[in-house]
Amino acid sequence: MPGSVPDVTGRDAHPDEEHYLVGLDLRGRRVVLIGGGSVVSRRLGTLAASGADIHVIALDPTPTVESFPGITVTTRAYRPGDLAGAWYALACTDDPQVNAEVVAEAEERHIFCVRADDARHGTAVTPASVQHDRLNIGVLASGDHRRSARIRSEIAQGLLDGSLGTPSQGSHPAGVALVGGGPGDPELITVRGRRLLAAADVVVADRLAPPALLAELAPWVEIIDAAKVPYGRAMKQEAINDALVDNARAGKFVVRLKGGDPYVYGRGFEELAACVQAGIPVTVVPGITSAIAAPAAAGIPVTHRGVTHEVVVVSGHLPPGHPESLVDWSALGRLKGTLVLMMAVERLEQFTEALITGGRDPQTPVAVIEQGSMPGQRRLTSTLAAVADDARGQSVRPPAIVVVGEVAAFDAASGTLGRVGV
């Protein structure tokens, strides 16, 4: 036929013909992938999520493919008959002749087959896809993969930021979600956290919850200020628990938005328990804790090969020696690894003195990261003996994270690795 592209299977491929977009129920059904490179790596996640019985046949599968959980990997070349019993197949080798042979066998067995190196000569194509709020969205662009990927990304961004398919008021089932908002930068909240926040009827927000996220909320969303200002005004925990339970019982979907992670000094479990005991459905969405993220944003790894094998995150809510303190400061002073102190700025001198008394070298590097990940971020580098005076002199204020250990002196630009080798 004039204008057609000959196919090795005897069919003619028609570039102008549209594909028929369909969803396949692959639960428990055999899917065979021939090849074990990067293309297969990219497909395994969505195939595994479908519940398919996945079989990979490849001469040299990558470590990611070889170690992927729940699949069968056979290390050898493709052989005719490998597609027996399959419902769906993918030809993903770097050898066009092998891929053509796989497509030919699939055609003979009436199995739809994707050909990764030349989609026109397969019998199926993989759409650029995105999953969001129980939606599976696929984009096909008549073989223009760059265009379909671009449109897919635009759809995903629109769903994520709420500009596309914004939930209507009361569209989410009643219940509570405890959402970690991350260290401060609104882009560091998880995808799931942002999706649930966009669906909220009521948001109970902490002081350290990223304020830019609140600005994105629909006008009908009620915002309850649950701030706990250090040494200042604070909403009692019992009142917060009541706000979550009462609003959920009234048929509303409530998001408890916290800074960092709900379970890292966030009283998240207390709120979980209150909801569960009241019979309220509750979802916990982990967040990026500032104990790790703030140092990372300042160029400090809390662990490093050959330097530190331990990280201890410590609350500075109570001073050393306080009758209610659960921290063994003398034991911390004997540690050699990284200490990350949270809520420690106001009592920094007391904490550094306790560590030195416990045996920590006064010249141990210390870094203080103020407003980590946010536009006003700044980093102070000092030593255990001097950091309290230095922080006072530079008017460091909360929120700030204190990192104690050799990693606190790391500097990527100069290649400095603390005092290693000194």
Residue 48 near residue 40, CB atoms below 8 Å:
no
Rounded-to-integer distance, Cα 275 and Cα 74, Å: 48
Catalytic residue, candidates 117, 228, 336, 361: 228
- Three-state SS at 79: coil
53 assigned to active site: no
Residue 91 near residue 111, CB atoms below 8 Å:
no
206 assigned to active site: yes
> Both tokens of residue 276?
């569960």
Residue carrying structure tokens 């609140």: 214
Catalytic residue, candidates 7, 53, 206, 261: 206
Q: Tell whether omega for the bond before 399 is within 30 degrees of 0, i.e. cis.
A: yes
Residue carrying structure tokens 């052989």: 79
- 304's CB contacts (< 8 A; 6+ apart) are 406, 407, 410, 417
> Both tokens of residue 326?
């659960």
Helix (H) or strand (E) holding 176: strand 175-180
> Both tokens of residue 83?
């597609």
Q: Per-residue b/e over 102-137, b at no fewer than 16 CB within 10 Å?
A: bbbbbbeeebbbbbbbbbebbbbbbbbebebeeeee
Rounded-to-integer distance, Cα 120 and Cα 111, Å: 16
φ/ψ of 47, rounded to 5, equals -65, -40
Task: Compute how many other C-beta atoms are within 10 angstroms of the C-beta atom of residue 229.
Answer: 10
Nearest to 374 by CA among 286, 294, 265: 294
Distances (CA, A) of 86 to 35, 62, 110, 286: 16, 23, 10, 38
**Which residues are catalytically annotated?**
206, 228
